[in-house]
Amino acid sequence: QIDLLCKIVPRQIKAEKAVNTIRNTVEDLITKCKAIVDAENEQIEGEEYVNEADPSILRFLLASREEVSSLQLRDDLLSMLVAGHETTGSVLTWTIYLLSKDPVALRKAQDEVDRVLQGRLPRYEDVKELKYLMRCINESMRLYPHPPVLIRRALVDDVLPGNYKVKTGQDVMISVYNIHRSPEVWDRADEFIPERFDLEGPIPNESNTDFRFIPFSGGPRKCVGDQFALLEAIVALAIVIQKMDIQLVADQKISMTTGATIHTTNGLYMNVSLRKVEQEADLALSPSG
- Which residue type is seen at 222? K
Measured between alpha carbons, how far is 204 from 142 in angstroms, rounded to an integer? 10
CB atoms within 10 A of CB 56: 11
**Is 223 labeled as ligand-binding?**
yes
The closest alpha carbon to 240, from 101, 87, 115, 92, belongs to: 92
Q: Are 171 and 151 in contact (CB under 8 A)?
A: yes
The number of angstroms, rounded, from the C-alpha of 232 to the middle of its chain's C-alpha atoms is 7
Measured between alpha carbons, how far is 180 from 144 in angstroms, rounded to an integer? 8
Catalytic residue among 33, 88, 223, 264: 223
For the chain, the distance separating the N- and C-terminal CA atoms, rounded to the nearest angstrom, is 71
Catalytic residue among 87, 95, 261, 264: 87
Catalytic residue among 192, 197, 213, 216: 216
Q: Is 216 a catalytic residue?
A: yes
Helices 103-117 + 226-243 axis angle, to 10: 100
CB atoms within 10 A of CB 76: 18
Instruction: Return the beta strands (E) in 121-194 as ranges.
Output: 149-153, 158-160, 164-166, 171-175
Q: Is 25 a catalytic residue?
A: no
Q: Is 33 a catalytic residue?
A: no
CB atoms within 10 A of CB 238: 23
3-state secondary structure of 153: strand
CA distances from 122 to 228, 264, 282 (A): 15, 28, 19
Degrees, nearest 5: CA angle 211-216-222: 90
Annotated binding site: 223
Residues carrying an active site annotation? 87, 216, 223
- The annotated binding site for heme is made up of 223
